[in-house]
Amino acid sequence: MPASQESIEPVRIGLVGCGGISGNHLAGIKLLPEAELVAACDVDAQRVGAFARGAGISDTYTDYRRLLERDDLEMVDVCTNDESHAEIAIAAARAGKHVLIEKPFATTEEEGAAILKAVRESAVKAMCAQSLRWDPKFSAVKEMLASGRIGEPVYARYSSASSPFWREEDNERWRDRDPSWLLVHNGMHSFDLMSWYLDSLPKRVYARSHPGEAWLPVHEYVTCSIRFESGALAQTEENRIMRPPRYPFHCELYLVGTRGTMDLSDRLTHSASLYNNDGFNLLGAHTTWSPDDPDQPFAGEMRAFIRAIRTDSEPPVPLEFSMHVLRGVLAAARSMRTGEAVEVAR
């Protein structure tokens, strides 16, 4: 590493929410010399204690407001449950902390607008965590689209399927969830990816769903048809209905352009294929990543956000862009409930 980079003090981070996705964030932070985790917070004292031991830190909190009082923190990493993202992100911004917010960064338009307002007024950086953009297979597809090898993309289809991450024995966690919870929670990834690839924003959506387990209010399968402002079309699937438990996670992507077509699947072949007037290209087995790879997705998004902090530049996923994506997802949730196509608010 160049000496100029070595001399830069790492960004000091406080992480809030030590369940689920926090382990991925921690793995990413550990790989980055420009990041230092110094404190963690969770409402469950045992959980934050266990997380801190694994992270090699000693400072823990059960109230995020106490963590935000620290003058030595530059950045807060919000990994709590979806419904608390807005409250914590707003408080972090008002405390003068840059904030990386797990998706969905908000669960309503009102929450999203309030976060944007707090971030602008406090002049801090904020970004919705969209780790898929830094997954090698998805970033490679973006590079090929940018090169024009399939021309202008006009249609995309994306599916990510796996076994559920809920169990009947812990149904208390899911009892009060809305049927559209999976769509809002995971749809931020799908809608962001499609908007990024098609370089356009959702204009009109239509969604249908399947309820799945009788004990579970959350619908386990949702398919969305999306018309974009550019005129392009996309279809997405949010799928956690695959059985049996531990059915392996996989994704499939299909992009049609005016000059070519691209297929990607990591279910069987772990490869991507490109078809255009130059012929057929097998783009290779670039679709997997290791947790200890310095270019793994969670390290990649953290590195990019920290770079925006250090250079005082726009984060690579602008919060305003994520707000438009959120509107598309929420419109799909309304379509799911009504059975009608819904225009996306601007």
pLDDT at 296: 87
108 and 53 together in one domain = yes
pLDDT in tens, 148-188: 999 999 999 999 999 998 988 888 889 889 999 999 999 99
CA–CA separation, 136 vs 36, rounded Å?
24
101 and 218 together in one domain = no
The model's pTM: 0.92
101 and 233 together in one domain = no
Average pLDDT of the chain? Answer: 91
Domain edge (last residue) among 72, 96, 124: 124
pLDDT in tens, 182-216: 999 999 999 999 999 999 999 999 999 999 999 99
More confident residue, 254 or 266: 254
Q: Cis bond leading into 153, ω under 30°?
A: no
153 and 283 together in one domain = yes
| Residue 16 confidence class, pLDDT cut points 50, 70, 90 | very high
Domain of 286: which CATH number? Answer: 3.30.360.10
- Residue 112 domain-assigned? yes
219 and 266 together in one domain = yes
- For residues 33-58, give the mean pLDDT: 97
More confident residue, 288 or 276: 276
145 and 236 together in one domain = yes
- Residue 314 domain-assigned? no
Q: Which domain holds residue 255?
A: 133-297+325-343
pLDDT in tens, 228-246: 999 999 999 999 999 888 8
41 and 67 together in one domain = yes
CA atoms within 13 A of residue 268's CA, in its CB half-sphere: 1
How many domains are there within the chain? 2
How far is residue 130 from each of residues 4, 190, 325, measured CA to CA in Å? Answer: 29, 10, 11
